Amino acid sequence: MKMKLDPDLAMEAKALVALAFRNGPIEDLHAGKPCAVCRGKPEVSHLSDDEMKVVMKSAVDALYRLLWQRDYDPVAYNEALAFGRRNTIHWDDPELKKPRRGSRPK
C-alpha cells in the first residue's frame, strides 16, 4: 500500500517528537555556540556516548509515558498533544520516503 500524508497523523507525529525529543536533554546539547572547527563534518562525533544515552533514555521514557496516556488516560494524552501541536505548528510535514539508516560514515 502506498503511504499517503494524513494531516492529523502528521500533526500527532510532530507533537510526539517535540514532546519526546525537542523538549528533552537534546535542547541542552543544542544550546550554545556551534563548534567552529568540527561544524559540518559528519566524520566527527558531535555527541558523546553518554550524551546519546541520556537523549535516547529520555525519549523512550517520554514516549512510553505518552503511549501509556494514550491507552489509559486519553484526556492527559490529548492535553499533551495539544501542547506539542502548539509548539510544532510551523514545522515541515513528514516526507514519505524510506528512513535513512546508518548514513553517517563510521
pLDDT of 60-76, one tens digit each?
999 999 999 999 999 99
Which sign, positive or negative, has the C-alpha torsion 7, 13, 19, 23? Answer: negative
Mean pLDDT of the chain, nearest integer? 87
Residue-range domain boundaries for the chain: 7-28+45-88
Higher per-residue confidence, 58 vs 100: 58
* Residue 32 pLDDT > 80: no
Task: Tell me the three-class secondary structure of 33-50, residue by residue.
Answer: CCCCCCCCCCCCCCCCHH
